[in-house]
Amino acid sequence: MRSRKLGVLAVVVALASAGCANLPLETKPQAIRAAPTGPEVTEGLQPPEKNLPAADVVRAFVEANAQEADLHAASRQYLAPEVAKQWKPRSEILILDDNFNTIRAPQAEQPDDENETVITLVGNMIGKLGPDRSFTPQNEPLEKKLRLRRQPDTGEWRIVELPSLVITNREQFSKNFFTTRLYFYAPNSDVLVPDLRYVAAQPAEGLTSRIMHLLMHGPSYSIRGAVEDPLSAATMETNVREVGTAVEVPLTGLVGVSTEERRRIVTQVVMSLENVDLVRLQSDGKPLLPDRTDWRRSDLKPATPKIADSDGYAVLNGRIYSLKDGDPMPGPAGAGGYNVVSAAQSLEGGQLALVERVGHDLRLRVGELGKQLAPVNIRGKSMTRPTWQPAYPENKVSYEVWTVVDGKRVVRAQLTPDGAWVPRTVDSKELRNFGRITAFRLSRDGTRAAMVADGKLVIAAVKRTASTVSLTTPRILQQSILADIKDVDWMTQHELVVATDSSSQPVIQVSVDGFTSAVYNAANLQPPVKGITALPNGRVLAADENGLWTVSSTGEPWDSQRNTQEGMESPFFPG
């Protein structure tokens, strides 16, 4: 799921066996070619197999639809010549599970002409690729009728009636598209936020122009409003072009933009063009920054969420224990001053939020780690493990912690200038139809939230204005595969880990858009897994019936976590 050098990135990872291919970082980009004005068979294109049955023609057409080059020249070969010239497919791509079928429609739906037939395409749509080349997960059946006719000159079946939709399957999409990460900024911060996109692999010489085209059009719909885009005022004078060993990006519209903002643009563009070795950024024909012309990724030090060094903590019998040495956490939280149910350490490490049991209710407490924690006027019968909003600008103390009360009410406690923690509202009306929320985690850049709602994995964007904070564009990930989820946490800014009730797949890694996933080795775990937490370095902690277990990659067996005691639960790293 991470883009790396050499090869085309295969984006699909089946749950049964995870795998990744690579982004072609060594490809020398060229200016993108003008699109042909009509259907054109690409030189060297594999022609259709001879004498295919009508159902197989439809299947081959669907698989060829993943090739966008030359206005879908590959798939137009399966259309009758007059239809191939007129077909104007939409820019969206519907992606089916690989177990789709092409079957002859019932006799009552068949044409009277024996040289014609109707084939039904039946499958389950796992999602769609939008015009912005971002993946939106879906889980719904798809059924489409296609009419075919034997061609009088060849006798081959060819499609004469078809939808305007572009429909392909997961496997072929994987072979013909690769994942790239465009970058934007967390609000009021220099922390980069990745935005996953899927770009056609061919023609290879237009790769960089296609990526820049997407970057210039801003963040995808799923996080629009949750991130900042320094490039929003800029346009491209021309397509990117090779100048010597560099790829030149000719921008315009940045007159009056500050040097600091220009430096942010440099970082944003160079980090997004992961397929380019050397980037030359121009503004109205001059270097974007006067002190430097060409940039490599190695020249930059992009900001990432700052996470305190921690071996983690866990809860046992209402107290918090350190997993570094097995000792109780300093202060009342480790000494039994509160009946702790769950807790969270702030990203910079100095703050602690916990949920305590008080009689039949739960209550939130927040304060400095190791000291007395102030009670917050947030109570309920149930409460998710707290989760911290990062501190922006950087190197400040975290000022906001979130939880979900009674499965529905998303709330946040905010630190006021006088040092008090007070409850604030979160507009979560877009989550009303997703069910009861039993786990909730903010991403470490603060722009997204992951949650478990009625056993499903849901992602939403965190949108902030001067007067409101809201959760927007929620969507369910891997709904056909991920079920009975117990807990979730962020690994990286674009990868999640989830714990499930499944005995064969108790822990799964999922991309933030839900397109890719990988199952962790279940060896040594005793399902169900009750809690999970993770770090960007790949380390995962899971709590099962026998205690705490740790692992660093999907293929490894789980090892018993050091310095633990039987019955420990609710493990947590900073976040």
Report helix angle 259-272 to 207-216, nearest 10: 140
Q: What is the pLDDT, as a whole number, of residue 44? A: 65
Q: What is the pLDDT, as a whole number, of residue 135? A: 97
Question: Residue 338 in contact with residue 356, Cβ under 8 Å?
Answer: yes
Calculate the average pLDDT of the chain: 90
CB atoms within 10 A of CB 544: 21
Q: What is the pLDDT, as a whole number, of residue 15? A: 31
Query: Does residue 393 have a cis bond before it (omega within 30 degrees)?
Result: yes
In CATH, 313-572 is 3.40.50.300: no
For 226, the token pair is: 């949750």
**497: enclosing H helix or E strand:** strand 495-500
CA atoms of 97 and 95, how far apart (whole Å): 7
CA atoms of 151 and 303, how far apart (whole Å): 60
Q: What is the pLDDT, as a whole number, of residue 235? A: 96
Please state the domain extents for the chain.
54-176, 313-572
Write the pLDDT tens digit of every residue in 501-534.
998 999 999 999 999 999 999 999 998 999 999 9
Strands 93-96 and 166-169: parallel
Question: Residue 499 in contact with residue 531, Cβ under 8 Å?
Answer: yes
Pick the CATH number of 54-176 from 3.30.450, 3.10.450, 1.10.1740, 1.20.58: 3.10.450
Write the pLDDT tens digit of every residue in 115-151.
999 999 999 999 999 999 999 999 999 999 999 999 9
| Mean pLDDT split into 10-residue runs, the chain, 575 residues | 33 33 30 33 76 98 95 96 94 96 97 97 97 95 98 97 96 94 96 97 90 97 96 94 93 96 97 95 95 94 92 97 96 98 96 97 97 97 97 78 97 93 96 97 97 97 95 93 92 97 94 96 93 97 94 96 92 97
CA atoms of 201 and 164, how far apart (whole Å): 23
Q: What is the pLDDT, as a whole number, of residue 40? A: 39
CA atoms of 48 and 155, how far apart (whole Å): 13
For 75, the token pair is: 């798939």
CA torsion 274→275→277→283, rounded to 10°? -70
Residue in the block written with tokens 């660093």: 552
